[in-house]
Amino acid sequence: MEPAETGRRSYAMTPDEFRRQGHEVVEWVARYMERVEDLPVVSSVEPGEVRALLPEHPPERPERWEDILADVDRVVLPGVTHWQSPNFFAYFQANASGPSILGELLASGLGVQGMLWATSPACTEIESLVLDWLVELLDLPDRFRSTGAGGGVIQDGASGATLCALLAARERVGGAAALGRLVAYASTEAHSSVVKGARVAGLGEDQLRLIGTDPTSRAMDADALADAMADDAAAGRVPFFVCATVGTTSSHAIDPVAAIAPLAEHHRAWLHVDSAHAGAAAVCPDLRFVNVGLDRADSYCVDPHKWLFTNLECDAFYVADRRPLLAALSVLPEYLRNPASESGAVTDYRDWHLPLGRRFRALKLWFVLRHYGAEGLRHHVGQHVAWAQELADWVEDDPRFELAAPVPLNLVCFRHVGGDAANQRLLEGLNASGRLFLTHARLDDRLTLRLSIGQTTTERRHVEAAWQHISELAGPA
């Protein structure tokens, strides 16, 4: 424990070692970018296989950097699914990009902790600025700008955003004391994080109503919502929160926010719009139908870490009025008091989400928006949508396949007409091929393939190759 143990003065990596090894890692990542397209997209390791390649006990002595980096090739690489492959069409993307990775590198190197404005003013001010930029880029309502009564914050993900919206809504109607009477609403197609968030916030299962959807659009049935809210109110319960989804995970259905908003207003319920994936489409002026009704929402979220080329974890969460959010989440112990906070002139983001400590989250988003410019974002997002429309046409033109849902944006849901077993075989065959990765949903209680076109480096040729492969592997109709 004493320096005398080994005679070494420090085990910290020196700046020169960091320089040398850092260049190696940059080189590794650059080579990864070059070859990821050719790697099998889905990892085929078995449970326990990765761990079995590594020592069961931690090293007593420091290890050499060469050995550590060698294990990345030997152990890590075969054990990961390549989310950054242009042939990744599964789930929704979790995009990295060059400027974003470099933003993360710089944020890690600076190593600042931005819990308070005072603990690193740039960390807070650039976050507010960049989120105001995003309001402009996505043409969101002005009420979400930090320069008014509302504002934005970077959450780790949409799950955090939904939970914080629930907590702000709960606060507005009396906090924990009111819990027993509260009812929240979302559609049956809403993301699982709504169920999780409601549970975390202390709502019982019977206090979250999952409203049915229109059989064709799969969007929330606003009339059913109206009935449910009226029934609850008549029974003395308090409808306090509605989550509308713009672009559901299963099929990209878009809830009718403009029809939902007046219902929420009538009951003074908080309206949260979860646009985690689809919201990014609004960088393109002709896709701004995703924003309809937003001007009446209390809160909204979109994930730049999905479809705006910014690494996890980066969800942009906006509120029209920040007071209930701060009232729900602010706790001020003496050791965090400081003159800037007490002046009221600054934003302390620790009061805008669950964590206290926080990285310099905005840096990578700032870099991405500057690297691409509005023009670059429109270009790529617009292309993804255009290619999805093309793919939808190909599906429709092939008698062996059918579209399983409308394709408003970049998610194509389709199935082989041969039934669940045929689709299961097809899905497994495609993913086992290593040439692409797509996932599934159940729509109309039938197994459906989901193909999301949105990876940072996906080009039209990757979509064509995916379709060709699907087409080859599919049996006859």
Contact pick of 39, 89, 95, 392 for a second copy (by CB under 8 A): 95
Query: What does the chain come to in residues?
Result: 477
In angstroms, the CA 244 to CA 248 distance is 10
340 touches a second copy (CB under 8 A):
yes
Site pattern 230..249 for a second copy (x: CB under 8 A): -------------------x
Residues 387-426 touching a second copy, rule: CB under 8 A, are none
Q: Of the candidates 271, 415, 456, 474, which one interacts with a second copy according to CB under 8 A?
A: 456
Contact 152, 347 (CB under 8 A): no
Question: What is the spatial distance between Cα 477 and Cα 398, in angstroms, rounded to a whole number?
Answer: 9
DSSP one-letter string for 148-185:
TT-EEEEESSHHHHHHHHHHHHHHHTTGGGGGGGEEEE
- Distance from C-alpha of 373 to C-alpha of 473, rounded to nearest angstrom: 40
Alpha helix (H) ranges present in 267-355?
A: 304-307, 322-329, 339-343
Q: For residue 439, state whether it binds a second copy (rule: CB under 8 A).
A: yes
Cβ atoms 219, 275 nearer than 8 A: no
Beta strands in 390-468 (DSSP E): 401-403, 411-416, 439-443, 446-452
Q: Which of 242, 243, 261, 369 binds a second copy (CB under 8 A)?
A: 369
121 binds a second copy (CB under 8 A): yes
Given a contact cutoff of 8 angstroms between Cβ atoms, the answer to whether 238 and 230 are in contact is no
The smaller minimum CB distance to a second copy, of residues 261 and 458, is found at 458
181 is a contact residue toward a second copy (CB under 8 A): no
Stretch that binds a second copy, among 29-37, 220-228, 267-275, 464-472 (CB under 8 A): 29-37
> Considering only CA atoms, which of 83, 80, 109 is closest in space to residue 96?
83
Q: How far is the CB of 281 from a second copy (least distance, A)?
A: 11
Give, to the nearest 10 degrees, the angle between helix 362-397 and helix 98-110. 150
Q: How far is CA 197 from the centre of its chain?
A: 15
Q: Is residue 192 part of the contact set for a second copy (CB under 8 A)? A: yes
> Which residues from 257-316 bind a second copy, rule CB under 8 A?
284-286, 305, 309, 311-313
Nearer to a second copy by Cβ, of 163 and 259: the residue is 163
Least CB distance to a second copy at residue 6 (A): 7
Contacts 24+ apart (CB under 8 A), 391-396: 391/451, 391/453, 391/463, 391/467, 394/467
Figure out which of the listed residues 288, 379, 425, 469 binds a second copy, where binding follows CB under 8 A.
Answer: 379
Nearer to a second copy, 242 or 363 (CB): 363
Q: How far apart are CA 302 and CA 286, in angstroms?
A: 18
Site membership for a second copy, residue 51 (CB under 8 A): yes
Using CB under 8 A, count the residues that bind a second copy: 171
Query: Do residues 264 and 238 lie in contact, with contact meaning Cβ atoms separated by under 8 Å?
Result: no
Out of 144, 241, 372, 414, point to the residue binding a second copy (CB under 8 A). Answer: 372
Q: Which of 266, 268, 323, 442 binds a second copy (CB under 8 A)?
A: 442
> Quick count: other Cβ atoms within 10 Å of Cβ 195?
17
What amino acid occupies position 41?
A: V
**Single residue of 70, 149, 354, 432 touching a second copy by CB under 8 A:** 354
| Residue 196 in tokens | 């999780």
Q: Which of 230, 329, 465, 473 binds a second copy (CB under 8 A)?
A: 329
Question: Looking only at residues 126 through 155 of this chain, which bind a second copy when binding is defined by CB under 8 A?
Answer: 126, 128-129, 132-134, 136-137
Candidates 39, 41, 89, 119: give the one binding a second copy (CB under 8 A): 119
First to last CA, the chain: 71
Compute the least distance from the CB of residue 302 to a second copy, in Å: 14
The answer to whether residues 163 and 184 touch, using CB atoms and an 8 Å cutoff, is no
Q: d(Cα 376, Cα 283) in Å, to the nearest integer?
A: 10
Give min distance, CB of 93 to a second copy, in A: 9
76 binds a second copy, rule: CB under 8 A = yes
Residue 200 makes contact with a second copy by CB under 8 A? yes
Nearer to a second copy, 357 or 476 (CB): 357
Which range binds a second copy by CB under 8 A, 72-80, 216-224, 238-246, 465-473? Answer: 72-80
Stretch that binds a second copy, among 100-108, 218-226, 387-395, 465-473 (CB under 8 A): 100-108
Compute the distance between CA of residue 85 and CA of residue 81 in angstroms, rounded to an integer.
9
Contact flag: residue 432 with a second copy (CB under 8 A): no
Could you tell me if 366 and 131 are in contact, meaning their C-beta atoms sit under 8 angstroms apart? no
Region 205-224 residues binding a second copy, contact defined as CB under 8 A = 205, 207
Among 39, 41, 154, 163, contact with a second copy (rule: CB under 8 A): 163
Place of tokens 């700008």: 145
Q: How far apart are CA 456 and CA 116, in angstroms?
A: 33
User: How far apart are CB 279 and a second copy at their closest, in Å?
Assistant: 15
Q: How far is the CB of 454 from a second copy (least distance, A)?
A: 13
**Closer Cβ to a second copy, 339 or 399, answer by number:** 339
Distance of alpha carbon 241 from alpha carbon 243, whole angstroms = 7
